[in-house]
Structure 1
Amino acid sequence: MRGPASDVRRLSESRLAWLFLVALVIFAAGVGLRDPWPADEPRFVLNALEMIETGNWLIPHRGGEAYPDKPPIFMWASAVSILATGSVRLGFLLPSILAALGTLWLVVDITRRLHGRRIAMLAGLALIATVQFALQAKLAQIDMLVTFWITLGAYGMMRHALLGPARHWWLIGCAAMGFGVITKGVGFLPLLMVPVWTALARRGDAQPLPAWELLAGFGVVLAAIAVWVVPMAMYTTASGDPALLAYRDNILLRQTAERYADSWGHLQPWYYFVVEVAPWAWLPLWLAIPWAVPNWWRRLRRGDARTILPLSGVILILIFFSLSPGKRGVYLLPTVPLLVLALAPMLPGLLDKRGPNWLATGFLVFLGGLLGTAAVMGWTGFEPLMELSEKHDATPWPWLAFLAAAMIGLLARLKPRRGAMALALWLGILWPTVGLFAWPDMNDSRSPRDLMRHVVEITGEDAWLAVHDFGEEFLLQTRQPTVHFSYHAQDGQEALRAFDWLQQAPTKRWLLIAQEHDGLIDCMDRSEAHDLGFQNSQHWWLFPGTAAAGCEGDPDAAPVFVAPTSLRRSPYL
């Protein structure tokens, strides 16, 4: 006989099923409606297509050149997704969507075990509503997958530390950290919480972590890393190829310790994440911080390990990335699931408090009012907005007005006393709107698909094309045999090599170059140039090889790489 407890359990499971359905709609809305866009997306899709085309799955390549910036797990996932769907447009976003759903399941499950089903439901909604999490779930960048590995590592740790003993989960978490390392290097981040775990265990607030378990965990991390690193190192070392040896040294040394300690790009001050990233990335979670801090302090004093452990992860990851001179906003993404876990037991009380709801209402009015004002000004021909619209070949006024109307409708229905829920629901409307309307509207300006079609119409599909200072999106969309002169070559060296390359077969070779490099091509005959207009934030020119007759080239200035995907038009594009 089915009793009341069974009915409650079935109701709870039904609500959780609806939670994941809502998440799928939010994350997947717009799949198939756009091409891969910069930054990063075309690069990883190009890596994946070259793996499929060449059969080399061990070392990622970009336009025929080894790509040493990231390990290959995300590229593998992209390649498998493209093969499974038969389409780049359908497949390239799947790894991020599935990783986001996996992360959501981990957060909901551990919250259910620690705090019960009702709070687990609220934690899941909070995670879906968090701006950076939903945004990255809809982008084909590497960070959502590494966040899944990091969250699984923390999940395994918490299953053992807070709900254990559960050594198998600790080891599963360690394996996840290792796979996270060969996804983006920082998969080990949950290990930063081990000292906090040890301190809690000494107070009797958590399951102890004996030295042998810690060492076994480290061994599992290293074994997972070795799955790719060992065969890669053996292959590159045995090859004797200077390019492959340079790849090995770059991926193992320069892209890890050197990049962290002495970063050469994305340089930001130490307070960057707290001041410039968290206020938008943690929205709407950060609206609760003023009320959460006193609660965290009380839980810290009484040794509530269920809150202290995930909160320590947020703080330690924030400190870890802040200490490096190189910073990107997306580095903060792994803190979002942990922040939700730290806030989870407070969510029912916070939703009933007047302060957080009124603060959320004010923020929602600000966002909706801003978008509504932009829609009205755009429709009435406000010149700066019209210039922006023309530059990006987009007309966003209808969907901006829709979002403003959604704000008004939600607040009219829920009132300011439920402002936090109204803000969360509005964000839930925002992302499908972006995917279904904004993405298709912006695709022509973010993807050079049409430009590369136009190039083929001018040159003929059998003509060879060189792309100077290339972006991966151009190699991805090329429709003819295409070369480049190394991603790492200096612009001047690329130009010298391009002139020599063009002069070898001037009637069959062409050069695509952005107007910003105008000074490098003073020697070329401008009367032969084709003006291709504005694309991907740059103005483009197309020159036949005959236009370089008066230029002095250098065959040794830079290497020439042939893009394998350009030799046979990919059936997946």
Structure 2
Amino acid sequence: MPRTLWERIWDRLSAHPWLAMSAAVFMQTAFLLNERALWFSDEVRYANAYENMHRAGTWVVLSLNGMPYPDKPPIYFWFLALLDEITPLDPPSVFFLGAALSGLLLLFATYALARSMRLTKEVALASALVCGTSLFVAGILHYSRMDLLFAALIIFAEACLFKGYADPETRDGSGVGWTLAGFSVAGLAVLVKGPLGILFPLVGLAAYLGWRGEWKRFLSLRTLAGLGCFCIVAAAWIAAALAVEGSDFVRTVFVEQIFQRATNTFHHKEGPFYYFAVLPATWLPWTLALFAAPVARLWQRDFWKQVRAERHEQSDRAVGRTWLWLHALAAFVLLSCLSGKVVIYVLPLFAPMAILTADSLFQWDRARRVRLAWAFAVFFGLLGAGVLLGNRLLPLPVELTGLPLTGGVFLVTAALLLAMRKRDARILLLCLLLGVTAWIQTAARVTVPSLDSIMSPRLTGERMGEYIDQGYTPVACDIYSGIFTWYAGENILELPKNYDRLEDVLREQPKTVLVMKKKHWDRWPDRPAELRPVLEQFIADQPYVLAVSDGPEKNASLE
């Protein structure tokens, strides 16, 4: 029987999986590297940190708005500097290129983890594409931050540790090299974003070996040597930071940025059930696989007997699935125990979830695949209808553009999935990839830029820059540090909410341009008469006021 066009396309892709993953990311990001402004809050802050790294030479310890920035290590910014050097792109385009390439590395890492478990090239490629067709992943390919690279390094580390501890053929003497490599890569992950880079692999490894009754292998010289490699990599930056900024900076990193954020954070504090809502939402549309999966087996005693029976089984499939499930569950518990919780922290869970999903998808019969296709079609149909009515349904202070096109893509995707519902799992995955790619290309080009006026501080920052060029002193009151600096082009004097201190500065600086939250502006008792508002902008979740003062004498003469 002759193979269809869809089947021939899949055959070509699975024969060249690395090129296929590269093509998928390229299609989702091509010609979209400078379609919008940098957004509040991380994008503009990281842009300023990168700018300072180049301009002030702060290559070891980053600086934000002219002050040491202990929140993030420098590896990701070095990665951006490399891209800046070897490509013709300049900031901010190079920031979006960094996000796209980091996403590609996440797909590569997912593929590598699947192959380390001896899954076929076809299943491994499907795993990477499952990850890449998550609407959340497709979206953050266009968001400039280091979390995609962070997640990719964590998954690469877990792939190495699987070879070192779990693979039946390399878990003994030949697996030592893999173990050392895994801990070293985890050290690089820590230097990208922080200690979760080692905690994710370590907690998952402990859960796996504990379940298998192999605690002695965790408490072994191999693990000790691996932790030694990790410490060498991670401590290199700590030693350099100590030499550059001194012990107070290092104490801030360990106490405020690590310990306090984990136990009692001042920022992004959420309850223990936060990720029970976030993970299903970010994993869409693949969360809908639950409608096709045999979840009823969870209530059967025989299922749990089989799970217990597989604890010590050495087959590739049993070992791999156990590793994936326990790493995903351990990571979920770890995140839920932290005081600070952010949506994007779930990314390292996506690789094991994608591999489990792809492997199951290829095992399901036709009835389950049809059920999944129906679930996808209904979801995209409802999503398309919601997008078409977006300006009526969403209480935004700006009108979104291009919604008919973006919503139409979702509706066409729903129709395509419905038409292909009886086809092979590979065809279903290709249709989904095509639909998600068409959606992100359309949305990023015609809809997302219309959010700039409420998501980017560019308007206020650039207006501040104009006043700075005229000799005004830039001042900000009670803002998230660094959000206006990139677009203003100069460091800003940032003050806490203290009206007396603010009034002292206004008296000391005759010509001042001030930005503050509107709620503080409205509540300011005895606000100086010489301050006159020149701009009000709603940014992210609240309005900000930009005001200027030419000094009491100048304002009196104007009157």
Structure 1 residues 500 and 285 mapped into 2: Cα distance closer, same or farther (>3 Å)? same
TM-score scaled by length of structure 1: 0.81
Match 2:514 to one of 511, 519, 540: 511
Structure 1 residues 96 and 173 mapped into 2: Cα distance closer, same or farther (>3 Å)? farther
Tell me the CA shift for residue 46 of structure 1: 1.0
Tell me the CA shift for residue 305 of structure 1: 0.6
Which residue matches 1:48?
50
Is structure 2 residue 300 aligned with structure 1 residue 301?
no
Asked if the contact 2:376–2:414 (Cα under 8 Å) also holds between the matched residues in 1, the reply is no
Match 1:340 to one of 323, 337, 354: 354
Name the amino acid aligned to 1:70. K
Tell me the CA shift for residue 505 of structure 1: 3.4
SS at match of 1:513: strand
Deviation per residue, 1:315-355 (Å, 9 max, x gap) = 001111112232222221111112223334322123x4434
Tell me the CA shift for residue 171 of structure 1: 1.4
CA distance in structure 2 between the partners assigned to 1:98 and 1:439 by the alignment: 21
Match 1:414 to one of 396, 416, 420: 420
Which residue matches 1:220?
229
Structure 1 residues 542 and 79 mapped into 2: Cα distance closer, same or farther (>3 Å)? farther
Which residue matches 2:488?
478
CA distance in structure 2 between the partners assigned to 1:399 and 1:454 by the alignment: 33
Which residue matches 1:439?
448
Tell me the CA shift for residue 516 of structure 1: 1.6
TM-score scaled by length of structure 2: 0.83
CA distance in structure 1 between the partners assigned to 2:223 and 2:29 by the alignment: 37
Report the number of matched residues.
518
Structure 1 residues 74 and 289 mapped into 2: Cα distance closer, same or farther (>3 Å)? same
Is structure 2 residue 551 aligned with structure 1 residue 546?
yes
Match 2:104 to one of 98, 101, 106: 101
Which residue matches 2:335?
321
Q: In terms of mean alpha carbon deviation, does 397-406 or 171-180 score higher?
A: 397-406
> Matched residues, percent identical?
20
CA distance in structure 2 between the partners assigned to 1:11 and 1:330 by the alignment: 29
CA distance in structure 2 between the partners assigned to 1:359 and 1:12 by the alignment: 22
CA distance in structure 2 between the partners assigned to 1:377 and 1:66 by the alignment: 42
Tell me the CA shift for residue 427 of structure 1: 2.6
CA distance in structure 2 between the partners assigned to 1:513 and 1:57 by the alignment: 31
Which residue matches 2:4?
none
Q: For 1:222-301, what aligned pairs fall within 5 Å after superposition? A: 222-237=231-246, 245-274=247-276, 276-289=277-290, 291=293, 294=297, 298=306, 301=309
Asked if the contact 2:112–2:156 (Cα under 8 Å) also holds between the matched residues in 1, the reply is no
Deviation per residue, 1:159-195 (Å, 9 max, x gap) = 2331523332221111111121222221111111333
Q: For 1:128-527, what aligned pairs fall within 5 Å after superposition? A: 128-160=132-164, 161-162=166-167, 163-164=169-170, 165-183=174-192, 184-188=194-198, 189-198=200-209, 211-237=220-246, 245-274=247-276, 276-289=277-290, 291=293, 294=297, 298=306, 301-302=309-310, 303=313, 304-350=318-364, 352-355=365-368, 357-375=370-388, 378=391, 382=392, 388=396, 391-392=397-398, 394-411=400-417, 413-415=419-421, 421=429, 422-457=431-466, 460-471=469-480, 472-479=482-489, 481-486=490-495, 489=496, 491-492=497-498, 495-506=499-510, 508-519=511-522, 521-525=524-528
Tell me the CA shift for residue 196 of structure 1: 4.4
Deviation per residue, 1:514-545 (Å, 9 max, x gap) = 32212454433457513313241414231214
Structure 1 residues 458 and 229 mapped into 2: Cα distance closer, same or farther (>3 Å)? closer
Q: In terms of mean alpha carbon deviation, does 30-39 or 464-473 score higher?
A: 464-473
SS at match of 1:23: helix
Tell me the CA shift for residue 11 of structure 1: 7.0
Deviation per residue, 1:416-442 (Å, 9 max, x gap) = 777954555433332222222223232
* Root mean square deviation, CA, Å: 3.3
CA distance in structure 2 between the partners assigned to 1:467 and 1:548 by the alignment: 23
CA distance in structure 2 between the partners assigned to 1:191 and 1:179 by the alignment: 14
Asked if the contact 2:369–2:421 (Cα under 8 Å) also holds between the matched residues in 1, the reply is no
The unaligned stretches of length 5 or more in structure 1 are: 1-7, 238-244, 551-573
CA distance in structure 2 between the partners assigned to 1:436 and 1:377 by the alignment: 17
Q: In terms of mean alpha carbon deviation, does 461-470 or 522-531 score higher?
A: 522-531
Tell me the CA shift for residue 37 of structure 1: 0.9
CA distance in structure 1 between the partners assigned to 2:552 and 2:424 by the alignment: 66
Which residue matches 1:565?
none
Tell me the CA shift for residue 149 of structure 1: 1.6
CA distance in structure 1 between the partners assigned to 2:359 and 2:509 by the alignment: 70
Structure 1 residues 545 and 468 mapped into 2: Cα distance closer, same or farther (>3 Å)? farther
Tell me the CA shift for residue 300 of structure 1: 5.9
Name the amino acid aligned to 2:374. T
Deviation per residue, 1:409-464 (Å, 9 max, x gap) = 41453247779545554333322222222232322432233344444556754332
